[in-house]
Amino acid sequence: MKKWSYICVLFIFFSCSNTQEKILPEEKSLTESVYSSVTIQPDSLYQVYAIVSGLLDANLVEEGDLVFKNDPLFQIINSTPKLNTQNAKLALDLARENYNGRAAILSGIQDEIEAAKLKRVNDSINYFRQKNLWSQNIGSKNQYDSKKLNYELASNQLRLLQSKYNRTKNELKTAVNQAENNYQTASIASKDFTVESKINGKIYAIYKEPGEIVTSMEPIASIGSAKRFIIELLVDEVDIVSIHKGQDVLISLDAYNGNIFNGEITKIYPKKDERNQTFIVEAQFIEAPKVLYPGLSGEANIVIGRKDQVLTIPKAYLIDNNKVKTENGLVTITIGLENMEYVEVLSGLSKDTFIYKPD
C-alpha cells in the first residue's frame, strides 16, 4: 500500500513539472518607462469671474459655443454703479464749471485783482508825484511816507490776490482731474457688468443661470482653447527625477480603447502635491486624436531609456523580483531595464536556459 502511495506522489510531481509553462529568454529591443495617470485638458483653460457682484441678467453664450477675445459672455445688473456714475458725472461737470470761470470762484478773485491793479496804479502815481516833490524839499515827510506806504500796501495786495488766483486755479484744476478719474472709474465699473472673454476659445462649462447671484468669489464659466489640448500627467515623486522635457510619451485613453498615441513632455511643475505625493507634468500630442474632450482620462508611459537586442524575460516569470526557476532550481539574476511586461537580464541566465513560470 505504501509503495503505491509513493508512486502516485512521483507521478503527480513529474506530471506538474512536464505541464508547467516554460520559455527561453529572448533577445529584443527594450524600452524602460515611468507609469503615469493621464487627464486631457484644453490649453489656456481658465475660470471666468465677474469683477463686480450683482444678479446674472442674461447668459449670452452656451456650452460648446466658440468665442473670440472681448466677446460679451454674461450680463450682470446692479443699480449702484449706475448711480455712482451719474453722481461722478455731476461732480465732474461742477468741477469743470468752477475751473473754466463761469462760476463766482475765479471770476470773483479776478475782479479783486482788477480793482487792486487800479488802486496800485493810483497809489503809484501819488507816490512818485510826492517823491518828486520831496526830492525838491516840497511837502512834508509824513505826506511822503503815507504815499509810499499806500503804494507798497497796494503792491502787496495785488501780489497776494494774484497768488490766491493761481493757487485757487491749481486747486480747481486738481479737482477737475480727480473728478475725471472718479468718473472714469465709475464708468469702468459700469462696463464690468458685461463679462467678456479674454481669449479665442470654446465655452466648456457654465455654472450660473439667469436670476442667480454673481460674486467675484465664484466662477461663472470655464473657457479654453477649442483646438489645442494638453496632456496632464501625475508622476510619483520616486520617478520625477527621471523625467525631463522632450521625452517621448505613449498615451492610452479610455475613450480610445486599444489605441496608442504619441506625445512629448513639454513642462514639469516643480511643486509637489502633498496630498497624493505626485508632481504634475504636461505633454503635447505629436498627432492628436480627432475628437477630444476635457477630462478624458487614461494611462501613459514616459520613456526614460531604450536598449536594442538585450536578453529579456517576462516579468511574470520572476520570483521575489530577482530569481527565476530553471531545470536546476532557483537562479538569482541581475536585472537592468524594465517595463510593464519585460525585464532585461544582465547576468545569471543565458538565452539557452529554460525558465518556468511560477504557480
Locate the domains of the chain by residue range.
Answer: 21-31+307-356, 34-44+225-305, 46-76+193-222, 80-191
Contact present, 195 and 208 (Cβ < 8 Å): no
Q: What is the largest CA-CA distance in the chain?
A: 171
Q: Which pLDDT score, from 0 to 100, does residue 231 have?
A: 95
Please choose, from the candidates 27, 36, 107, 19, the residue with its C-alpha nearest in 3D space to the C-alpha of residue 253: 36
Mean pLDDT of 309-326: 89
Give the confidence band of 80 by pLDDT, cuts at 50, 70, 90: low
Mean pLDDT of 56-72: 93
pTM confidence score: 0.55
Helices (H), 238-297: none
pLDDT above 60: residue 15 = no
Question: Topology of 34-44+225-305 in CATH?
Answer: Elongation Factor Tu (Ef-tu); domain 3 (2.40.30)
Residue 296 cell numbers, joined? 478624458
Beta strands in 161-259 (DSSP E): 194-196, 201-206, 213-214, 221-224, 229-236, 248-253
Q: Which pLDDT score, from 0 to 100, does residue 12 have?
A: 40
Contact present, 348 and 331 (Cβ < 8 Å): yes
Give the confidence band of 283 by pLDDT, cuts at 50, 70, 90: very high
Mean pLDDT of 102-109: 69
Question: Topology of 46-76+193-222 in CATH?
Answer: OB fold (Dihydrolipoamide Acetyltransferase, E2P) (2.40.50)
Judge: domain 21-31+307-356, CATH 2.60.40: no
Mean pLDDT of 221-236: 94
Rounded to whole angstroms, the Cα distance separating 120 from 125 reads: 9
Q: What is the DSSP letter of 257?
A: T
Rounded to whole angstroms, the Cα distance separating 246 from 267 reads: 9
Q: What is the DSSP letter of 319?
A: B
User: Over the stretch 238-270, which tens digit does the pLDDT of each residue have?
Assistant: 999 999 999 999 999 999 987 899 999 999 999
| The residue type at 225 | S
Does the fold of domain 46-76+193-222 match that of domain 34-44+225-305?
A: no
Strands, sheet with 323-326, edge to edge from the N-terminal-most edge strand: 22-23, 355-356, 323-326, 329-332
Compute the radius of gyration of the chain from its Cα atoms. 45
